Chains A and B, each alone.
Chain A
Amino acid sequence: DGGITQSPKYLFRKEGQNVTLSCEQNLNHDAMYWYRQDPGQGLRLIYYSQIVNDFQKGDIAEGYSVSREKKESFPLTVTSAQKNPTAFYLCASSVTGGSNYGYTFGSGTRLTVV
């Protein structure tokens, strides 16, 4: 079955460390997205990519980086520059040509700074 897979489900990071969250999809979707979710704040867009080797900053890109070397993969790195990284991170993908058919979301990664 096609879908979008995020790993790991839970991730713990020491202060000052970079960590990378994985997102893989086999839906043949061109566009992929990373969102951050904090209690009571809904979803906030970090980065998005419409095609391979291209990506755009979202609303809260500071302290994060991404790459899009393959259509199927859109990893997110949370750098030490992100001051408050503890959150639930969601990856999503959508079909080419617009978002009228909605997003398919992964099951999320919960990142905790210890």
Chain B
Amino acid sequence: GQQLNQSPQSMFIQEGEDVSMNCTSSSIFNTWLWYKQDPGEGPVLLIALYKAGELTSNGRLTAQFGITRKDSFLNISASIPSDVGIYFCFGSGGSNYKLTFGKGTLLTVNP
């Protein structure tokens, strides 16, 4: 199936640093969704974006829906140890039930 290009694949940072990750696609999407997966658990929705250019925050997290509708980024500010996990981007064209998603960014935060 189709996948998004998500980068970086992994990141090792120190506590307190800011983090940025992004997803790009050759397809246009109506919706971008960012999920976080804790080790051994299922992904949980962090932020949903529904409009090109939209910038949305959820605490220390900020995500943007690219103007071209083919990309999105997620920023985490002042990282803490509990930010550790895999972050996935999901794109939806809205016309079917299936989401397209990236392979994930594995984030490790060193205390």
Contacts and interface: CB of A to CB of B under 8 A. Distances in A.
A110 B40 CA distance: 8
Interface string B36-70: 00001111110010100000000000000000000
Interface stretch (A11-19, A37-45, A75-83): A37-45
A98 B78 CA distance: 35
A40 B103 CA distance: 7
22 contacts: A31-B97, A40-B103, A42-B88, A42-B102, A42-B103, A43-B101, A44-B1, A88-B40, A98-B92, A98-B96, A98-B97, A99-B96, A100-B92, A101-B31, A102-B48, A103-B90, A103-B99, A104-B45, A105-B35, A105-B42, A105-B43, A105-B44
Contacts of A106: 42
A86 interface: no
Contacts of B102: 42
Contact of A90 (B3, B42, B97, B98): B42
Size class of the B contact interface (CB-based, 8 Å) = 20 to 34
A48 B90 contact: no
Contact of A41 (B1, B30, B103): B103
A107 B90 contact: no
Nearest to B45: A102
Interface of A: 6, 31, 33, 40-45, 48, 50, 58-59, 88, 90, 92, 94, 98-108, 110
For A101, A103, A106, A107, the residue with the greatest tally of chain B CB atoms inside 10 Å of its CB is A103
Nearest to B103: A42
Contacts of B90: 102-103
A100 B48 CA distance: 9
Contact of A42 (B3, B30, B45, B98): B3
